Amino acid sequence: MAHRAPLTNHHVDGTLCPADHKHTSSGKPLHADCPGRAYTQAICSCGGWDMKQSGKGYVNESRKRHLASHAQGAKVLRNLARLDVS
């Protein structure tokens, strides 16, 4: 099973900031109806990891590292299964 941890942007009141609301790198809105991005969140489908920070780049890098750890875990398990057969 491939795990997922999609990034979502949120306004200060916790409401979801739609994907079509573009922002500057600091989170200031470029869309007239948007109050701005207050934080970015990622929640992994594994149920054991989530992150919520104001820095979108930091959340994205952490998300990538976490998802890579799932891939490494699967590789280790495959290698163990090969060793167990002999």
> Could you read off the pLDDT of 17-67 as tens digits, one per residue?
988 888 888 788 888 889 989 999 999 999 999 999 998 999 999 999 999
pLDDT confidence of residue 54:
92
At 63, which amino acid appears? R
Give 2's pLDDT tier (boundaries 50, 70, 90): confident
Torsion angles phi and psi, residue 3, rounded to 5: -80, 155
pLDDT confidence of residue 78:
61
pLDDT at 77 over 60: no
pLDDT confidence of residue 74:
62
